[in-house]
Amino acid sequence: MAIFELDGGRSSLVQPMRPRSDSFDADSSALVTDHVSALLGEQVLPVREGGPGGPHLLALDASARPVVVEVVQLLDEAALVRALRHAGGAARLSRSDLARMYAGGAESFEADLAVFRDRSPILASRDSAAGVRLVVVCADVTGGLLDAVEFVTSGLHVEVLRMGVTQGPGGRRYVDVSPLRSTTAGARRAVEPGLRTGAVQVAPPPSAAVTDPTPVVPAPAGPPPEDGAPAGPRRHAAAPAAPAPAGTPTPRPAPVSPRSDETTLIPPVPTDGGPQHRGEVDHRPLPELAALAAAERSALELVWHRVRRGQRLTATLRTDGLIELPGGSLHADPDDAATVAADLESTADGWRVWRFGEDGPTLGEAVGVR
């Protein structure tokens, strides 16, 4: 299902945000448990939900064909293989196996299955399609797996549904579950606002508040001090301006390009000193990173997997919004932190390569700026 925003006669495609990692398990479980029929587009009889070594849900459709529902936040190679293995295992189950696994008890399985099939649409109950139906519900898919997903879903028995979240008035959350489309599968999506993984409102931290610059005004020229102290360097005083008529607004002077021989506006020097480390220059955290760190209130681990080189680089997003490398160096810009961590000559895209944990969103996705 595609969502479009209509505004002034124009329409634009809405790309739902990625669900927060801290709410994905609860949201997906509620969807599968309470709305499995709407999610699958048909009535099913749940056989077992959860269980060690098994899929998230094993059910039967109106033709008594097994339906396997796998739920995973990030669909990668391992998760896809695991889902296919669960589907293959379900294909080998007999009716007695299903009866033993039935949540309502083996003695009730046959009776409940008969009632379910009697109440199902007759066309659906006569559907004799062979094979197990596999449905994978995920929040996102790794980029290198899109071709494999497109191949396995080109048949009749495998579907991949992707969850997305849109926010409405009053903070209401709307979850969209749609088939993964190849046209938008690789597009970057912002993460739903929330702690640790969500976008946060970007605002300058209190220590980095911008104030009006303080003008340096030369002292007016006058007679030397009476006590005979040496006078400072004399400056030519400007001729006094003619008084403006009463009621006339004072015009605002136009900005003038500063020159070395003129008095310029100098911004105030902060008194707090800011974070410093081992004699480095004063660092000011970027507003979006400072806001994210302030919302989380704890240090966050950043991970960069360089797969081709077999490297795993780590860093820490401190509570003040600065990125600290294991060697102790501090960086305000994620690009600088990634470049130094990997010892590169060219600048790395730190917003894209740094992730929160092993499988979390990228730094740019987390703050919703890239």
The pLDDT tens digits for 129-153 are 568 999 999 988 887 888 898 899 8
> Could you tell me where the beta strands, DSSP code E, fall in the chain?
3-7, 10-14, 45-49, 57-60, 66-75, 133-141, 158-167, 173-179, 214-215, 265-266, 300-306, 311-317, 323-324, 330-331, 355-356
> Can you give the pLDDT at residue 136?
94
109 in a structural domain: yes
Q: Residues 173, 294: one domain?
A: no
Residue 230 has pLDDT above 50, yes or no: no
pLDDT of residue 5: 67
pLDDT beyond 50 at 214: no
| pLDDT of res. 221 | 52
More confident residue, 286 or 264: 286
342/126: higher pLDDT:
342
Number of folded domains that form the chain:
2
Name the residue range of residue 89's domain: 3-179
Count, residues in the chain: 370
**Does residue 56 lie within any of the structural domains?**
yes
259 pLDDT higher than 50: no
* Distance in angstroms (rounded) separating the CA atoms of residues 186 and 115: 44
Interval 353-368: pLDDT, tens: 998 877 778 888 777 6
Domain assignment present for residue 359? The answer is yes
Instruction: Identify whether 322 is part of a domain.
Output: yes
pLDDT value of residue 40 = 85
pTM for the whole structure: 0.49
Domain end (from 154, 179, 204): 179
Of the pLDDT bands very low, low, confident and very high (cuts 50, 70, 90), residue 223 is: low
**Domain final residue, candidates 122, 156, 179:** 179
* Same-domain pairing of 13 and 162: yes
Asked whether residue 313 falls in the same domain as residue 173, the answer is: no
Q: Quote the pLDDT of residue 345.
A: 87
Q: What is the pLDDT of residue 110?
A: 93
In whole angstroms, give the CA distance from residue 234 to residue 238.
13
**Does some domain include residue 137?**
yes
- Using one digit for the tens of pLDDT, what is the confidence trace for 304-353? 988 778 888 999 999 888 999 998 999 999 999 999 999 998 889 998 89
Residues 301, 160: one domain?
A: no
Q: Which of 179, 205, 223 is the last residue of a domain?
A: 179
Residue 128 lies inside a defined structural domain of this protein: yes
Question: Does residue 247 lie within any of the structural domains?
Answer: no
- Cα Rg, the chain, nearest whole Å: 32
Domain assignment present for residue 213? The answer is no
